């Protein structure tokens, strides 16, 4: 990679960011298309977020990804926010458009694209059961609803979060949205009548994490996906596979949210195969 005075700068802001897989993925894309650009990780403490964005704008950074813990706080420092990002109330991608920083959220759209790639499925008319009602769930839920999902059922350890998200979905989209308690017969019935079950929580990243759901509730014919991509086979996915369900992890969502961000930044179609190759190398 040659870096000179004409090299454009892109990057990721978060705290911490040492674990990120995004730089190799995006740098592979720039190299694949012969674009003179570099993608760098920037570790930014919450109290320094405003100053970082001012600096990035001053030096002409062309685009940024945003990760934990800045996805929500960054909204107040942007010049404009895309409609879907406004509904989600979180931004994961910033585009520098003629000196103005515009915020987008590509996480949910990346999930929708991964559904098509992994399962050959589109959300239209489908029923989804989602574990978790945090940031990842909010992005996924709104993108599914805006893509024509028929019903979204939400379950969270803090039920108030699920209720709040369900109300927001019902108010802003035409999708049926339901918040359920974790226990009970209704939960079993809802899973039985769902096409896809999604784990949108971080539970499963560590070997000692508890099960996110009773394996007996999983069934053949169900599609089960986990937003976690490391490890590649979480306890949930292992349980689901044993029960005859089709499974996929979060690597597709990670890839496709990056593909969409790349297009927003450059106006060019991202070389998804090169990005996938770089990502798979890291995950192995």
DSSP the chain: ----TT-EEEEEEESS-TT--HHHHHHHHHHHHT--EEEEEEE--GGGHHHHHHHHHHTT--EEEE-TTSTTGGGGG-SEE-HHHHHHT--SEEEEETTEEEEE--HHHHHHHHHHHHHS---TT-EEEEE--SHHHHHHHHHHHHTT-SEEEEE-SSHHHHHHHHHHHHHHSSSEEEEE-SSSHHHHHHHHT-SEEEE-SSTTSSTTPPPSS-GGG--TT-EEEES--SSSS-HHHHHHHHTT-EEE-THHHHHHHHHHHHHHHHSS---HHHHHHHHHHHH-
Q: Which of 71, 126, 263, 269 is catalytic?
A: 71
Concerning whether 71 is annotated as a catalytic residue, the answer is yes
Give me the phi and psi of 179, to 5 degrees please.
-105, 125
**Catalytic site positions:** 71
């Amino acid at each position: 990679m040659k870096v000179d005075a004409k090299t454009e700068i892109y990057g990721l802001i978060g705290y911490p960011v040492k674990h990120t897989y995004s730089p190799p993925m995006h740098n592979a894309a720039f190299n694949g298309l012969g674009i003179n650009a570099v993608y760098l990780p920037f570790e930014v403490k919450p109290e320094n977020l405003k100053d970082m964005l001012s600096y990035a704008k001053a030096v002409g950074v062309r685009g940024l990804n945003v990760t934990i813990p800045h996805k929500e706080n960054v909204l107040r420092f942007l010049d404009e926010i895309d409609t879907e990002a406004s509904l989600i109330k979180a931004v994961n991608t910033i585009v520098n458009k003629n000196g103005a920083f515009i915020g987008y959220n590509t996480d949910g759209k990346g999930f929708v694209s991964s559904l098509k790639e992994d399962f050959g499925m589109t959300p239209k008319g489908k029923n989804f059961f989602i574990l978790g009602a945090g940031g990842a769930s909010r992005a996924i839920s709104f993108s599914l609803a805006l893509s024509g999902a028929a019903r979204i059922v939400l379950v969270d350890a803090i039920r108030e979060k699920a209720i709040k998200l369900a109300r927001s979905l019902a108010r802003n989209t035409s999708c049926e949205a339901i918040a359920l308690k974790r226990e009970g017969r209704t939960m079993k019935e809802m899973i039985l009548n769902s096409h896809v079950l999604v784990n949108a929580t971080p539970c499963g990243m560590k070997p000692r994490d508890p099960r996110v759901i009773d394996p007996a509730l999983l069934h053949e014919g169900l599609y089960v996906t986990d937003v976690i991509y490391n490890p590649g086979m979480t306890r949930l996915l292992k349980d689901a596979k044993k029960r005859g369900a089709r499974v996929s992890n979060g690597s597709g969502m990670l890839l496709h949210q990056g593909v969409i961000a790349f297009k927003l930044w450059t106006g060019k179609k991202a070389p998804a195969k090169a990005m996938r190759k770089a990502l798979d190398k890291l995950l192995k």
